[in-house]
Structure 1
């Protein structure tokens, strides 16, 4: 099957409907040969995670199966047992796929807001394309260096599907704004908005007694 390999990384603590919406949006736009979900092992910019790697992977599989969105769970960051840096992951996937394979990394606007704090962030473009689901006008709020880099690298969907790396793309029609921290807070209080989680994920969280006050 032709098309790029599409990656979506994150802590997924827990996976919520914003993650699903982002994955679905770029799956529909890019028609990837494969959608890989890469749960973080030890995310260096965040505190300790609540759910275990096994629980986060279980929730991911439940959520994507519920939405009938085929995925491959790629657990390389968990196996690494070291701080998770996106550049290391992209280099690892690039080495696996080869230099000519189109590779696309999807993120939400909250991640892009912090991109200039990521390790070797400019080197990300050497390994793959970066695509962002964001609200209209969001690009103007970025750090100047990130804004400049994204604007000069703008690519078409066709280029993202065929070129190996180096492009950027804003999809300004992702109308889902959900933060995992807000979902966890709602679960802790016992009043999480059910529209933020797939029912099977909420059931799993309750069965595992996750995100409750200690």
Structure 2
């Protein structure tokens, strides 16, 4: 079985995240995508954004109705900083023989990849599926030369999915909410309802 793990802050989850999961299933040949919201992302500041509970609930709302997508709260239950390598080790240990693990990420994460904990071991545990993001084309891989092994860069190249760039970002969603601007379909309706009901990101409560 081919299982794709999709980790991240999801602060908040948006339509782009849904598109990425679909791309992994439809273009990446995955049997299942497991969405794993982080307890705390190692590359993001502590104390900003929504609580783990709110993010987990928004993830459940955001991905409902997509066949082949499951939600896992394993990193939130584990607590602390959510290291990708720890999650992959756990999956590798628990998966039946023959299971192929992939990790899904946007191409805007590639410049940060060399900073990931035990990044070289990560490449031994999974393959990467990369969804294009505006401003981060395949050519960004050239900037990783010297920071990653040639075979690792080649693996990333082979993992690029042929789909249109995903233009939505959580940063943009938070900015619009803080400024009182309409979200204009950037997040699923149920996610927007949760955000406004809870007054997250400076949104006016409804």
Task: For structure 2, list consecutive stretches of 5 or more residues without a partner in the other structure.
Answer: none
Question: Which of the numbers 93, 96, 99 marks the counterpart of 2:94?
Answer: 96
C-alpha displacement of 1:45: 1.0
Cα distance in 2 between the residues matched to 1:9 and 1:135: 16
Per the TM alignment, residue 11 of structure 1 is displaced from its structure 2 partner at its CA by 0.2
Match of 1:62 in 2: 61
Match in the other structure for 1:208: 198
1:194 equivalent in structure 2:
184
Contact kept? 1:21, 1:174, Cα under 8 Å: no
Alpha-carbon deviations, 1:144-177, whole Å to 9, x = none? 134834443368xxxxxxxxxxxx4111423212
Counterpart of 1:143 in structure 2 is 144
3-state SS of paired residue (2:4): strand
Q: Give the direction of change, closer, same or farther, for the CA distance of 1:143–1:97 in structure 2 (3 Å limit).
A: same
Q: Which residue number in structure 2 is paired with residue 71 of structure 1?
A: 69
Superposed CA RMSD in Å reads: 2.3
Q: Is the 8 A contact 1:22 1:174 kept in 2?
A: no
Q: What's the TM-score, normalizing by structure 1?
A: 0.84
- Matched-pair contact (CA < 8 Å) for 2:38–2:82: yes
2:114 is matched with which residue?
Answer: 116
Q: Does structure 1 conserve the Cα–Cα contact (< 8 Å) formed by 2:133 and 2:167? A: no
Match of 1:43 in 2: 41
Match of 1:173 among 145, 148, 163: 163
Flag the 1:30–1:170 CA change in 2: closer, same or farther, 3 A. closer
Residue in structure 2 matching 1:105, options 103, 110, 114: 103
Taking a change above 3 Å as real, the CA distance of residues 31 and 143 of structure 1, as seen in their structure-2 partners, is closer
Partner of 1:126: 124
1:158 is aligned to none
**Contact kept in structure 1, 2:102 and 2:129, CA below 8 Å:** yes
Displacement of 1:81: 1.4
Label 1:93 to 1:192 Cα distance change in 2 as closer, same or farther (>3 A): farther
* 1:38-71 Cα deviation digits (max 9, x unpaired): 0001111101242121211111111111x53442
Paired position in structure 2 for 1:18: 16
Q: 1:31 to 1:149 in 2, by over 3 A?
A: closer
- 2:58 and 2:133 map into 1 onto residues whose CA distance is 27
Q: Equivalent residue of 1:132, what SS?
A: strand
State the Cα distance separating 1:178 from its structure 2 match. 2.0
